Structures are given as C-alpha cells and as structure tokens.
Structure 1
Amino acid sequence: MKIITLLISFITFTSITPLKNDIKKAKKPNIIYVLADDMGYGDVSAYNTKSKIQTPHLDQLAADGLMFTDAHTSSSVCTPTRYGIITGRYNWRSTLKSGVLTGNSKALISPKRTTVASILKQQGYHTAFIGKWHLGWDWALKDENAPAKKGWDAKDFDNIDFSKPIKNGPKELGFDYSYGHSGSLDMAPYVYVENGMPTQVPDTVSSRGGKFHWWRKGPTSRDFIHEDVTPNFFRKSFKHIEEQAKTDQPFFLYLALPSPHTPILPTDEWQGKSNLNPYGDFVMMVDDYMGQLIKAIKDAGIEDNTLVVFTSDNGCSPAADIKGLEELGHYPSDKYRGHKADIFEGGHRVPFIVKWPDYIKKGIVSNDIICTTDFIATAADITNYKLSDNEGEDSYSMLPLFKKPNPKKPTREATVHHSINGSFAIRQGDWKLTMCPGSGGWSYPKPGDKEVIETLPEIQLYNLKNDPRETTNLQDRYPEKVTALKTLLIKYIKEGRSTPGTPQPNDAISFIWKQIDFVNP
C-alpha cells in the first residue's frame, strides 16, 4: 500500500509540474538581453584572473549560470554587431559593408525583415528596447527634398524636425515599447526618443572636451544629460521589469547600454574606484548596475524563469587608453591580440554570460564557439518558432548548449568575422583564416601602413589553440587549409547564408564592394 501511495504521489506531481528539461511544456521564460558597449573580454574578472578591474556582480552572474569562453560578435564595431543580434544575419549581407552609422543615418533594417523582437511578439511576448539603438531610423525632415547629410557635423541636423515622430525605428521592427537615442553617446543628436517620438525638442548645442569625456558637438535636449544616460537606462529597465512581472505575459527586454563606450563618464561615486583610470571606473559602475538589475529581477519574483544574457558589442576601444591600462597591469583583451575595430581576436572575442535557473545549472563553462548572431535562432528554439529560409540566415540555436555546453560536434560549422574596414576572417575549429595582411582596423599594422603594403602576406592563417596571440602566420605551411577555409567563406558569401537551408540573396547595392575581390579573382 505504501509503494502504491508513493507511486500515485509521484505520478500526480510529475503531471502538474513541468520538467525543467522539457522546454516545450514549460512556461515561456522572460528574456533580458544586456549589451555592453566596447567592453573587452579581459575587462570581466571572471574571464581574466589577472584583471585589475573587479566585476563581482558579473562574476556572480557567471557563477550562477553559463559562461562562454569562445563567444564572438559578428563585427568588431557597434552598428554591424547590433544588426546581427537583431536579425541573425551578418551585416555585410546588408548595404553596410564597413564602418558604422551615425546619429543621423537612415534605417538600416527593412521593416519587412524578421527580427528577434517580431518573432517573440508573434509568440506572445511583450517586447521592449531601452538604450543605444545605432541601427539608423528615419528622422522627420523639414524639407524632404534636401540632400542627405552624414551626421558628423552640428550643421548636419538643421533639417531634422524634432517635433514629429521618427519612422522605421524599433516599433516597426517588433518592439512594443522603446526608449533610447539614435547613435553612440558621442554622436549627436542628443535626444531621447520614446515610442517613436522625441521626448523634447533640443534647444541647446553641446560638446565636451577631454581625453575620456569628449563628444561631438550637436543639438541636445534639456532632459538628455550625458553623465546620467547609463543610470537612466538602468532605472527605466528596473521599472519595466517590475511592471511586466505583475502581468501573466512573458516579456523580452533588449537593454543596449552606451557604456563603457566614450564619453567615459563614471558617476561621482565611482570616480577613482578602480585605481586605474576613468574607463576602469566606468566598467565597475556598469558591473554594479548589473548587480542592481539582477536584484530587480529577484525582487520581482521572476528570477527562476528569466533568461538573462550579458555580452558586449565588440572589444575594448583604444579610447579607454589601453596602453595606459596595460602599463598598470590590466589587459582589456586578456591574452588576445588587438582591440575594437580589428579582425584580430581582441576585436570580436567578448564575454558572454547566460543565466536561467529553471533550465541552466550553476557554474557551467562552455568552450564551444558561438556568435552574437545566434540569439534569434535561440529565441525561436525556446518559443518553438520555426525559422523560414529567409530568417536568421547566420543564426545557430544556443539552446542545446544550455544543457550540453561542450558537445562532441561543434554547434556552428564555421563563423565569419568582420572588421571596421570590411576585412573578413573565417574561423573553423582551431583554425582562423584572415583575408587581409594586417589588423583590418585600428591596431598595428593598420590598413595602409607601409609594412602592410610592402612586407606582409595578403592573407593570414592561425591555429588559435597553439597561438591565441595570432603571432605566427601559417598560410605558407598549410595551403590546403587556406584553400578549404577560403572556399567555405566564398560559399557563405555567395549563398546568402551560413546555416543549412535554401540560398538567399544578399541585399542589392549600387556600389563596388572592393573587400570581396577574392570571391571573383
């Protein structure tokens, strides 16, 4: 009788309690994706045991979840990485082949393209964006026929009508709520836009000097205070989490920070705390706010079934005074070569931490290669949405890695990297083929440097397992490996996708794309 009673109890319990491993039967998790701006792989002390910057809250996030050691952004600069996160597609398939957008740029993503927000909205989520957009949107214009301006000079904003709503922004891409600014924190105009409408018409023109505190001159709203932008975005996020937790609807929050990108503006209480420089202080401030974000989730009673992702859009910027930091014993790229803008590992290898108590065990480390384009396939997998052939063309689901973080077979066939000047690299296993002679970015040897032109081979091949610093070019020793990787890269470019499926067209362009001369030599 006792055995029968226990058996009935077990059957009853399992019938009313969804197994944590059964994602299809479980309640859909809330999803919070936090994207830091220009934070290096070695700036998080969980990744860099010799770090001079202590990040206890991010370290705890890693201890409570899953830490990826071989995570990469799809580009080594801001806009293209954001494009990949939102669309699951490499940016160079769009019209953006190099560089970044400005605060005055037109929308890069077509409203017709599927985004992670539009998928989750369709799957019953409330979707929100808070922070730095940097994907372009269409400001209302006083004169629609006036020539377009790039947005680097204060006069470039004279034609914007800040009293009218924008078009082709977050709302058109699936976000129910949005609050943020158009470009980086050093790019005018300095205006908050909430749900498509500027919160105030700018009536001042501001700029600021200094090694760490500089930003471009441009129109500024009185409610836009540079020093308070990062704290403001976190406060908005805390409130949003609290409000959404009171509903029965799952929610997705994309919190795109403008920090620790320039201008480097730690608040008064954090100035001098790192004993390094303002950049170190700023990183510590971001870490503390992440601790407050995790607390807000706990206080709202939704911690167990909330997926939190923390990563960065590229490596640390030279604006942080990397040389000065290294002289004090702190290496923002840890053992890797290069930094923001580069094709070298320091440009695109980033911290990537995931916590989801209901599904992910504590203290897991994954050495599998992932890319920031993988978010859309992961969200689709979690919510049982089947991606069509023209959705998330470069996105692999990370969901299997949440249970088996180090599979025998890699999740991704290969991963394509991209630098600020449009240079390519492709990574498969331990091997990385780079289709340019130098950094492709801002570190030496830069594009155009005499050494690049006169002495260096046109391509680079590295075995990252044996040579993580990318010091020994093996392209002349392993020609078969060069051929195989180059062939795969060309296939990915021509077929419009790097995942299995029907080939897709890359976006049409009206200019010569010089960076892929190697495709049709």
Structure 2
Amino acid sequence: MSCAQKKTVEPKVQAAKTAPNIVYILCDDLGYGDVQVLNPERGKIPTPNIDGLAREGMTFTDAHSGSSVCTPTRYGILTGRYAWRSRLQEGVLAGGAEREPLIDKDRLTVPTLLKKQGYSTAIIGKWHLGFDFVDDSGKAVKLYDGKKALLAPVGSTVPNGPISRGFDSYFGFHHSRVMKTVIQNDKVVDHMPEVEMLPLLAKNTAEYIEEQSKKDAPFFLYLALNSPHSPVVPTAEWKGKSGMGPYADFVMQTDDVVGQVIKALEKNGIANNTLVFFTSDNGCSYPAAKGKQLEEQGHFPSAQFRGSKSDIWEGGHRIPFIVKWPGKVPPNSENDELVCLTSLMATVAEITGAEIPDTAGEDSFNILPLLTDATASTNHDVVVHHSIHGKFSIRKGKWKLELNPGSGGWSNIKDPKARKMGMPEVQLYDMMADEEEQHNVHDKYPELVKELTDELVAVVNKGRSTQGEAQSNDVSIDIYKTDR
C-alpha cells in the first residue's frame, strides 16, 4: 500500500532515537550544469563539496523541480502537491499576492507530519510562500512604495509564516526583493546588507545542528539558501575566486556552505544518522548569471539541456538532486529514474512510519526504494512540468509532451513569437534519443500526442497523480493558456 493511499496521520509522543535526522538543502536558481560532477565536460565552476556528496551518496540524473520557478516548487516540496492545483496558476508570489499564504492553514505539510512523529522542525533561509507583516496594533505594514520594496520595521510580527505551517523555528527572509529584512520565528529582528545573508544562514545552520545534536529527538531542517539567485552577492572572500565572474563566485560560495553543513554534522557526531537531500528549486537564471558570458568561457549552466529557469524545456526544471544517508544509500551511485521534488512527503512518511490521508500529498511518491537500491524502480512514471507562464508539459517514460509552441518562459523562442512564426502548438520529444529537445516529432506520433494529452487532463481533473480518492483543485485549470 503506497503512502498516498493511507488514511490518517498518527501522532507519536517521541520518535525513536534511531530515526534519522533529515536535512533538506535547497539552492535557489542553481542550474543542473552548475554542479561539476553533473557536467564534467561543459561545467567549469569547481564544486568540490557537492561533488563529495555525490561520491558519498546517490546522484539522480533525471530529477525535476515541481516548476521552473521558485514559489510553486517550494509549495510542492512542503506539501507533496503540485502548486498549479492552488490559486497560483503562473509566476511567483509578488506584490499584494505575497501577503496571503499559499499553503492553506489546514493543509498537511512535511514539517507538520514529522512533528507528529516526534521530530523538531526548523526552516533556515528563504520562505517565499506568502505571509504578512503587521505592527503592534495588528495593522498591515506597508511593503512597497510603487515598485520599490520597503523594509518591514524591526519588531513587526509575521502571524501567518512558517511557524504557522508546521515549523518549530524560523530564521531567514521572505524572498530576494526583501532579503534585508531578517525574521526570527514570527518577528522581524534586524536589517542587514544582502551580502551578509548567506554567511548568516550558514552560521545559524551550524548552531542549530550543534544544539539539536545534544537532544534525543531527531530533527528536520529545511535549509533554503538565497544563492546563487540574484542579487548575486559573493562576499569579499569569494569575489574573483572563479575567474569567471560574480555568478560563478557565488556558486563556489554556495558549495562552500554545503561543505560547512556536512562538517557541522560530522563535528557533532550525527552525520551517520542524518539523511541529507541536496537540490535546487529550478534551473539557472540565465540573465542574472550572465549566461552568455559564462558559455563564452566554456561553462554551460544547463549542461546539455535546452533552456533555463522559467522554461518548460529541460533547463527550466531538470535540477541537481543528490541524496546521502550513510549505511542506507549506496555511495557513489547513480540513478536515472524519473523523480520530482514533490516526493519528499511520501518518502519521509515511509521512513518514519507516518500515514498520509487522501487529502494530502496528492502528487508525492515514495522514492525510498530508489534511495536504498540504485536498481530499483517505483510507480512514479509520470511527472507534470509547469513554466513561469503556466504552460504545461507531461513526461511519461521517455516521452515528453509540451502544450505550447516555444519555451513557455523567458528563453527564445518565446511562445507569442513562435505562434507568429507558425510553429506547432505542441512539442513532442523522445528524451532518450533527443534530450536536447531539438527534434519535435509530434507530427509522427499523433496518437501518442492524444494519449499523453488525455493523461495530463486526467491527472489535472482527478486532483492527484498518486493512487487514492479523487480530490479537488483549488481553482479551474486551463492546460493550454494560448493567450500567454
């Protein structure tokens, strides 16, 4: 019986001491090709610590974020549900929309599930799933003057942030435009230069790990880094280290922070009982990274894949995904099974013995069999991709169908231009023979196009992609969006 089919979440007073600690490291806009071990021929940025994780754990080569942009991927990680089932049909939370939490207060989250299993839960870093700032009188704090972001005053309260969605503690910021505002638990505690944020997250992570290592209960740490997303702000220590520009320097600093996390686990004697996930929320932001200049220097942030952050093409959502769990995950192993970041909820439920009701984790598949056996397979044979403009794609086995004529995002050729050029409204690619997505074969396989389209419609209409009772989406969903 899969986790998605189970009916109730049973609380436990305290998790067994043998239950693993879980550390989930989520980079922001780190491309698949930015990790040296994943892109040895066309990747020029040294990432020794991430490469070390790969040597000590399992590297997934066909892993995907739930979206090609930030907010929806984070929603999917923490809820096990595609964000396009929510009110967010395209883009990220911004402007007035960022005041309203995207995760409903009654929805089961990964930290809530693990708390019921006796875990301590913490988030350090970026949230970007919506919350409000209010003053002492309960009045909403002004966050923008036109398009200019304002600093929420120290002492402002966050009444509906991570602490209200399953986390015991929170230290970080909301999103990149307001990164100067530092939040601890549910209070604004400081303002700081953006360049100081990444070192501060590393420092707080090391302190949290040391503190938790002295306790009997296991912990879940969701470490959502601000890097290498813009503002691209490597510290003085890292400026110029790569010889390839600020973005490459920032990637190197990000890799160093990963190394600091691993060292903290080792120093406090808990590395052998800690499950570490390392990944990214979407592909590299080509404009912010100055991708053209990087490519001229021989570095390709998306490796061999087409497109980058925002796109329905692979570069938008095929991401690094490395898992280390000593004694459980075989070291220096590689897995080419199709997986998505929505898998976290069902996987940790299986590990901890939790049960998930039908109303939660609708798109979360248990990948524990893959983690412990590189030759295993799961029933996770379908993944739905989503672009910044809300364009849909479905991947099943080697076939990928895209319901739009262009990139679905920022990369050329954008969809409006592709339509003007008379390009086909759908794209079909054989990802085994053509992972670069250069040969659209939709006209050769019209029956396959219909079959995959029907399957996508069924996944949308059922409210879930896992087994279980049909559920409702929060809004009606247009899978074509031909006006964008």
Decide: shared fold, TM above 0.5: yes
2:133 is matched with which residue?
139
> Residue deviations 1:334-388, cap 9 Å, x none?
0000000000000000000000103112111000011000011111111011111
Structure 2 length normalisation: TM-score?
0.92
- The amino acid of 1:305's aligned partner reads N
User: 1:296 deviation in Å?
Assistant: 0.6
Match of 1:59 among 51, 62, 66: 51
Counterparts of residues 205-244 of structure 1 (less than 5 Å): 221=191, 224-244=192-212
Q: Hey, what's the Cα distance between the residues in 1 that align with 2:138 and 2:46?
A: 50
Q: Which has the higher contact order (CA 8 A, sep 6+)?
A: 2
Contact 1:72–1:348, Cα closer than 8 Å, also in 2: yes
1:394 is matched with which residue?
363
Pick closer, same or farther for the CA change 1:333–1:479 going to 2, 3 Å. Answer: same
2:332 is matched with which residue?
363
Q: Does 1:499 align with 2:462?
A: no
SS of aligned partner of 1:336 = coil
1:30 is matched with which residue?
21
Structure 1 length normalisation: TM-score?
0.85
User: 1:502 deviation in Å?
Assistant: 0.5
Counterparts of residues 288-307 of structure 1 (less than 5 Å): 288-307=256-275
Count of residue correspondences: 464
Q: Hey, what's the Cα distance between the residues in 2 that align with 1:183 and 1:126?
A: 24
User: 1:163 deviation in Å?
Assistant: 3.3
- The amino acid of 1:483's aligned partner reads K
SS of aligned partner of 2:60 = strand
- The amino acid of 2:440's aligned partner reads N
Contact 2:369–2:378, Cα closer than 8 Å, also in 1: no
Q: Does 1:415 align with 2:412?
A: no
Contact 1:137–1:167, Cα closer than 8 Å, also in 2: yes
SS of aligned partner of 1:199 = strand
Q: Hey, what's the Cα distance between the residues in 2 that align with 1:230 and 1:316?
A: 18
Q: Hey, what's the Cα distance between the residues in 1 that align with 2:203 and 2:139?
A: 40
Match of 2:445 among 453, 465, 478: 478
Contact 1:73–1:350, Cα closer than 8 Å, also in 2: yes
Gaps of 5+ in 1: 1-23, 201-220
> Residue deviations 1:306-335, cap 9 Å, x none?
001110000000210111111110000000
SS of aligned partner of 1:433 = strand
Contact 2:126–2:225, Cα closer than 8 Å, also in 1: yes
Match of 1:193 among 183, 202, 219: 183
Q: Hey, what's the Cα distance between the residues in 2 that align with 1:461 and 1:310?
A: 30
1:91 is matched with which residue?
83
- The amino acid of 1:472's aligned partner reads H
User: 1:188 deviation in Å?
Assistant: 2.7
Q: Does 1:344 align with 2:313?
A: yes
- The amino acid of 2:161's aligned partner reads G
Pick closer, same or farther for the CA change 1:438–1:516 going to 2, 3 Å. Answer: closer
User: 1:410 deviation in Å?
Assistant: 4.3
Contact 1:103–1:183, Cα closer than 8 Å, also in 2: no
- The amino acid of 2:263's aligned partner reads K
Q: Does 1:248 align with 2:216?
A: yes
- The amino acid of 2:57's aligned partner reads G
Q: Does 1:281 align with 2:272?
A: no
Q: Hey, what's the Cα distance between the residues in 2 that align with 1:452 and 1:436?
A: 9
User: 1:397 deviation in Å?
Assistant: 1.0
User: 1:141 deviation in Å?
Assistant: 5.9
Contact 1:154–1:188, Cα closer than 8 Å, also in 2: no
> Residue deviations 1:196-250, cap 9 Å, x none?
11114xxxxxxxxxxxxxxxxxxxx2xx221110110011000000000011010
- The amino acid of 1:249's aligned partner reads A
Contact 2:311–2:408, Cα closer than 8 Å, also in 1: yes
Q: Hey, what's the Cα distance between the residues in 2 that align with 1:166 and 1:468?
A: 44
> Residue deviations 1:42-82, cap 9 Å, x none?
10011011211011110010000111010000100000000
Of 409-418 and 370-379, more deviation after overlay is shown by: 409-418
SS of aligned partner of 1:350 = coil
1:312 is matched with which residue?
280
1:79 is matched with which residue?
71
Contact 1:109–1:135, Cα closer than 8 Å, also in 2: yes
1:329 is matched with which residue?
298
- The amino acid of 1:399's aligned partner reads L
1:11 is matched with which residue?
none
Q: What is the CA RMSD across the aligned residues, in angstroms?
A: 2.1
Higher-Rg member (1/2): 1
Q: Does 1:459 align with 2:426?
A: yes
SS of aligned partner of 2:395 = strand
Q: Hey, what's the Cα distance between the residues in 2 that align with 1:446 and 1:308?
A: 37
Match of 1:383 among 349, 352, 358: 352
User: 1:157 deviation in Å?
Assistant: 5.0
Pick closer, same or farther for the CA change 1:474–1:435 going to 2, 3 Å. Answer: same
Q: Percent identity?
A: 47
Q: Hey, what's the Cα distance between the residues in 2 that align with 1:197 and 1:181?
A: 11
> Residue deviations 1:2-48, cap 9 Å, x none?
xxxxxxxxxxxxxxxxxxxxxx9981000000000000001001101
